Every structure is written in structure tokens, then in C-alpha cells.
Amino acid sequence: MNNALVKQLWQEIDKLPIIDPHTHIRPRHSTALSIAEILSYHYYTELVNATEFQPGGFPTDDPRRFTKTLLEKLSIISNTVQYDWLLSLAQNLYGISRQDWAPDNWASLFDRAQQVIDQPSYPQDVIRKSNIKRVFLTNAYNEDLAGVDTSFYVPCLRVDPFMDYASSPKEWASLGLFAGTDGRTVAGYKAGLDKAFARFAELGMAYAAFSSPPNLVTRYVAEEDAARVLAKAVTGAALSAEEKGLWAAYGMNQVAERCRRYGRPFHLMIGVNRTTYAQGVPSGTDLFDSVNSMKGYDYLLNEYADVTFPTSVLSDTSGLELTAAAWIRHNVWPSGHWWYSNQPTDIARELERRLNAVPYRKLIGYYSDAYYLEFVAPKFRMYKFELAVALANRIERSQIHPNMAPLSVESALQLAEDVLINNVKRVYKLA
């Protein structure tokens, strides 16, 4: 690693504003109300719980007590990148230095952060200091978005409820209520989906998104088969794995058809096993399966050739499969580094693969997946550093590589801008 060159590149890349194309930020509660909310990000509770099991969970309803409790344990995760996000943001936003993070100091940290947080300009200060230009949301179809500034917050429709719909009776009522139809029929389901898309198109949605289980299989599903499965479920009968799979494939097609109709991408987030760990903290119970084939997506990607599919994979074992899909398929764009793959080791590998073999205009570099605006910058910094390392290596290799011409710092920075800004704007049609 050429440290001077990495540092030079990083400093330039860091000047790029942030467009964050996937988050879970709630616009009306976009920043933390106390440092306890920062510390309650599941990474901290789950990593601490993974090291010293907290059978009763954490006292999340009492911010000060929660902060005290967590700080007592925090040093046990001090080697992790997630810890680095935290200390980095606390330094930059609250002026809390690394040496201040001691259990005994909890009250002081809480209060110092609170002073900053209580400023009326705090959310805008976070945005300004982090140089964030746009933040994409992950929205329920029936979520109240009144008053949300969609020139900054870009709505995205989460379609997960439509995929396991047949086995989720509470969704029938919810969707029926939303669409004013009978959610227990395929007609009602389709009307609900129509209304959701119409509403989100109106709101300027960037894309529809689905986080799928491993080994989903897409295929043609006849409407009468979907209707039969839903009707069976409505009688109260349990669905078989085959019937659930049929409905998921039906749901994928229904969503893709509407993405086509509205000219919006369908963002695939492939491979999560939900509620796997029984003793987990909230949001800390999901894992993935290293045995995950993207082959099941062939039908969807071929059939909806005119829909763009930004795609994230959760398992490292799907990394080259995604690179290869993006390398030949015109409608697959590799998107970011998701969750368990969102750490330097796997970012570095996938980034290098993509830069070597996927045309640069298709690369969506990064998204933060954050729940609060405070985390956007440190997570992007982690990625930008790996990007600087990858580009520095490329520059160094280019100087002696028999097939390459020397890569200039300017060209390397242009590449960084493309994957972080220009491609995101183009694929999501941002103004």
C-alpha cells in the first residue's frame, strides 16, 4: 500500500458530496434525539450481546441508563469497524475524542452530545458537515410521507410485504385498507400494488426494493395458480413450501411488471435469512446462507429485460456471480456492499473484481443502509477509503503493467466520481 497516494486519493474522494442510494432513515426522525439512539444502532447492541450475552436485553426505554449500560461494555468491541464508525462520528459531530470513551464518563458524553443534538439546526448541521445531497428512503407502501422534502429524501418502495403476502394474513387487511379493496383476492392484491406504485411514482420514487431469502426461484406463474394459493391461505390452511415459492415468484413478476410500467428500477437485495438467532437483540437476529444461487433470477432478468435491476448480495460467495451477471447482463448493476459484506475485507475484494471486469458506468459504489443521518458519513468514509486503496493499487500497477497505460490521479478520481455520483444519478434518474 502506497500510504501517501492512498491518503491523497482519499482526501480528494472525500470532497465528493454524498448521494446515499439506500437507507432506512425516517425523515421526521432523521437524526438521533440523544446519543442513546446512536448507541442503539443494532451493530452496537448485537456485537456487545454477542460477546457478553444480555439475557434481558438492553434498557432501551431509558436513554441515560441504556447509555451507561452500553458504555460499560463498549470496549469489548473496540477492534470492529462498527466501533470506528461510532467514534468517528462522535468526534466529528460532538467533539468527543477517543480517549473520552470510558464507562465512568458516560454521563458527560451523554450531556455533551445532547448539547449539540438540542440545537435546532442539528439535522441540517449533520447534513452540512457530512456533505449529503440526497438520501434515499425505504418506505412501506402505506407510510405517511406528508411534508417530506422529496428533493432531499428520495422515496423508495419496499415490496417485501408483497412477496410473502399469501402467508401473511395481517397484510391482507392492511393492503385492503390501503387500496379500498378486498386484500384476500388476487384482484385486490393487484389493485393494492397498482395503488402503491401510482402513489410512489407520484412521490418521485427511485426504485422498488426487495430483500430476498437465499435461493429464491423466479418463474412464470399463471394468475389462476396464484389465485388458488391465496384462496387456500384465506381458508386458513397452511401453505406448503412449494406454494409459498409460487407466490413469491408471482409477486416478483407483479412488481417487475409495474417497475416496467413506471420506468423504475427494481432493486434486488439477495440472500437474507430472517429471525435466525433466537436470542438476538432487535434487528440483530438475521443471517445469510453461503449456499445461495443467483440462477433462480434468470427468469426475472430475462423476462423483464427492459427493467434495470440494481443488485446487492449478502453472501461473499455470491460476489463473483454478481460481477459476472453485471459483466454480461445489460440490466444488472452491482450495488454497494450489503450488511455482513459491508466491511473492508469483502468490500476490497468485490470492488477490485468490479473495477476489473464490470464496465464502470454500471457500478453503484455504495449506500449506507443507515437508520440515522449521523452514520452516513462514517460508513461512506469506510467505503471511500477502500476505494482510495483500490485506485492507488491500480495507479501503481498501471505504471509497470505490460497491458496498461499509466493511470493518472485525475482519471482515478473521475472513476470515483462515476461510481459514487454520476452512475447513481443516471440509473435513478436524479435531476
Report the site for a copy of itself in 96-155 (rule: CB under 8 A): 98
Distances in whole angstroms, Cα of residue 65 to Cα of each of 59, 68, 78, 87, 245? 7, 5, 21, 20, 45
- Asked if 25 and 372 touch (Cβ cutoff 8 Å), the reply is yes
**Which residues on adjacent β-strands are paired with residue 333?**
310
Per-residue string for binding with a copy of itself, 201-230, x by CB under 8 A? ------------------------------
- Residue 274 touches a copy of itself, criterion: CB under 8 A: no
State which residue, 82 or 212, has the beta carbon closest to a copy of itself: 82
State which residue, 53 or 121, has the beta carbon closest to a copy of itself: 53
The DSSP result for 219-236, as a single string, is ----HHHHHHHHHHHHTT
- The values of phi and psi at residue 418, to 5°, are -60, -50
Give the number of residues written for the chain.
431
In the bound complex, what is the minimum distance in angstroms from residue 403's beta carbon to a copy of itself?
A: 4
Of 63-71, 204-212, 242-250, 316-324, the window that binds a copy of itself (rule: CB under 8 A) is 316-324
Per-residue string for binding with a copy of itself, 398-417, x by CB under 8 A? -xxxxxxx---------x--
Q: Are strands 272-273 and 287-288 parallel, antiparallel or unpaired?
A: antiparallel
State which residue, 142 or 293, has the beta carbon closest to a copy of itself: 293
- Residue 79 touches a copy of itself, criterion: CB under 8 A: yes
- CB-hemisphere CA count at 13 Å for 76? 16
Near a copy of itself by CB under 8 A: residue from 282, 290, 408, 429: 290
Per-residue string for binding with a copy of itself, 376-395, x by CB under 8 A? --x--xx-xx-------x--
CA-CA distance, 338 to 366, in Å (whole number)? 9
State which residue, 146 or 405, has the beta carbon closest to a copy of itself: 405
Identify which of 253, 154, 135 has the alpha carbon closest to the alpha carbon of residue 201. Answer: 154
Identify which of 395, 417, 389, 397 has the alpha carbon closest to the alpha carbon of residue 408. Answer: 395
Distances in whole angstroms, Cα of residue 173 to Cα of each of 179, 243, 338, 426? 10, 21, 32, 37
CA-CA distance, 243 to 42, in Å (whole number)? 33
State which residue, 32 or 351, has the beta carbon closest to a copy of itself: 351
CA-CA distance, 415 to 267, in Å (whole number)? 23
Identify which of 404, 371, 427, 395 has the alpha carbon closest to the alpha carbon of residue 12. Answer: 395
State which residue, 124 or 290, has the beta carbon closest to a copy of itself: 290
Near a copy of itself by CB under 8 A: residue from 176, 280, 334, 336: 280
Near a copy of itself by CB under 8 A: residue from 114, 174, 273, 422: 273
Question: Please, which of residues 3-42 interact with a copy of itself by CB under 8 A?
Answer: 3, 6-7, 10, 14
CA-CA distance, 348 to 352, in Å (whole number)? 6
Near a copy of itself by CB under 8 A: residue from 145, 217, 231, 320: 320
- Residue 315 touches a copy of itself, criterion: CB under 8 A: yes
Near a copy of itself by CB under 8 A: residue from 78, 119, 124, 240: 78
Identify which of 169, 155, 128, 114 has the alpha carbon closest to the alpha carbon of residue 430. Answer: 155
DSSP letter (8 states) at residue 56: T
In the bound complex, what is the minimum distance in angstroms from residue 43's beta carbon to a copy of itself?
A: 9
Near a copy of itself by CB under 8 A: residue from 33, 105, 327, 422: 327
- Residue 241 touches a copy of itself, criterion: CB under 8 A: no
State which residue, 128 or 295, has the beta carbon closest to a copy of itself: 295
State which residue, 148 or 415, has the beta carbon closest to a copy of itself: 415
Identify which of 220, 205, 284, 395 has the alpha carbon closest to the alpha carbon of residue 43. Answer: 284
Near a copy of itself by CB under 8 A: residue from 145, 182, 231, 340: 340
Query: Total binding residues for a copy of itself by CB under 8 A?
Result: 97
State which residue, 241 or 400, has the beta carbon closest to a copy of itself: 400
**Which residues on adjacent β-strands are paired with residue 158?**
209
Near a copy of itself by CB under 8 A: residue from 100, 194, 225, 352: 352
State which residue, 109 or 179, has the beta carbon closest to a copy of itself: 109
Question: Please, which of residues 35-74 interact with a copy of itself by CB under 8 A?
Answer: 46-53
